[in-house]
Structure 1
Amino acid sequence: MFGNNDESTAPVAVGETYEVTIQDIAREGDGIARIEGFVIFVPGAEVGDTVNIKITKVLRKFAFSEIEE
């Protein structure tokens, strides 16, 4: 039932969109937002930005997204 589905514990899903506020910047320069404490990397965002994002990849402890235009 649970298998290897990494998305099972994530509060976000690939293809879904969310409005988030960027809280931190990662070492690589990506913005970091959190949904229910779950880390989401947002390339091209700055701390304090509120952006609409689309989830592109979900892993066990974090997800990647892109800013929706």
Structure 2
Amino acid sequence: MENRKFGGKKFDRSRSRGRQPPVKVGERYKVKIEALGKGGDGIARIKGFVVFVPQTKIGDEVEIVINSVKQKFAFGEVIG
């Protein structure tokens, strides 16, 4: 793994890759939609981790289930 200088500090790429997302497929959360993505999906955050939630709008408070998790974001759907 390589280290690069970033803003006068060394940036270790291996550290950012090693973090596990704070959510897992099948988990349920109550979230508030904070923004909209380019495709129109609502964006919520769980422990700072981005979750895209289709068919929502800014300000919605919904219960979701996580149905897909990537390294930097996840997808959830409204339940109930």
Q: TM-score range by the shorter chain?
A: 0.7 to 0.9
Greater gyration radius: 2
Identity %: 52
> Which of residues 45, 49, 56 in structure 1 aligns to 2:56?
45
TM-score (norm 1): 0.87
The reply to whether residue 23 of structure 1 matches residue 34 of structure 2 is yes
Aligned residues: 63
**Structure 2: which 5+ runs fail to align?**
1-18
1:62, CA displacement in angstroms? 0.1
Distance in 1 separating the partners of 2:39 and 2:75: 13
> Which of residues 53, 59, 62 in structure 1 aligns to 2:70?
59
1:12, CA displacement in angstroms? 0.7
1:14, CA displacement in angstroms? 0.1
**Structure 1: which 5+ runs fail to align?**
1-7
Q: Secondary structure at the match of 2:56?
A: coil
TM-score (norm 2): 0.75
Distance in 2 separating the partners of 1:24 and 1:39: 10
